[in-house]
Amino acid sequence: MEKVLFVALGGGIGAALRYLLTELANLHGGVFFPYGTILANLIGSFCIGILFVFFSESSDLSPIVKLFFVTGILGGFTTFSTYNMELLTFVRTGAVFPAWPTSRSTSSAASSAAGLASPPATPCGDERRAARAARRSQVASLPS
């Protein structure tokens, strides 16, 4: 039950942050294009990529912390259902042109954001390569 409460608390925080971002985007970009939803999905995907690496390498963190941040906050912040509702609204109102590039670009960009976040969040890339090379040389030096 404790896990559910932390996910719910994080989800509420994430949903409130998404709402504020959408309102801010509507002030600056207008309400005719879903800039807020696209930004939320891109920012959230990037953050999920960073946290995926961080949590994978930090085994001492409680699973509740991971659930709070990823499933809760970022799950509430990113929004596939709102994204689909906005695309459906475009199609139903005859605005097919914005629907097509929005659907293609958001999916590609969100996946890219998560992928781009992983290498910078991964510490010691050179050390990993050096460790692999050392293991290979140890294997190569073993008698056959």
- pLDDT tens digits for range 11-56: 999 999 999 999 999 888 776 778 888 888 888 888 888 887 788 7
Q: Mean pLDDT lowest for which of 28-42, 49-63, 76-90, 116-130?
A: 116-130
Q: Which residues of 37-68 are buried (b: 16+ CB within 10 A; e: fewer)?
A: bbbbbbbbbbbbbbbbbbeeeeeeeeeeebbb
Of 133 and 121, the structure prediction assigns the larger pLDDT to 133
How far apart CA 6 and CA 14 sit, in angstroms, is: 12
Residue 69, C-beta contacts closer than 8 angstroms, at least 6 positions apart: 10, 51
How far apart CA 69 and CA 72 sit, in angstroms, is: 5
Asked whether 74 and 44 are in contact (CB, 8 A), the reply is yes
Residue 108 pLDDT grade (very low, low, confident, very high; cuts 50, 70, 90)? confident
Asked whether 12 and 22 are in contact (CB, 8 A), the reply is no
Asked whether 76 and 18 are in contact (CB, 8 A), the reply is yes
Rg of the chain on CA atoms, in Å:
20
Does pLDDT of 85 surpass 80? no
Confidence (pTM)? 0.65
Does pLDDT of 105 surpass 80? no
Count of C-beta atoms within a 10 Å radius of residue 69: 21
Proportion of the chain above pLDDT 70, given as a percent: 78
How far apart CA 106 and CA 84 sit, in angstroms, is: 11
Average pLDDT, the chain: 79
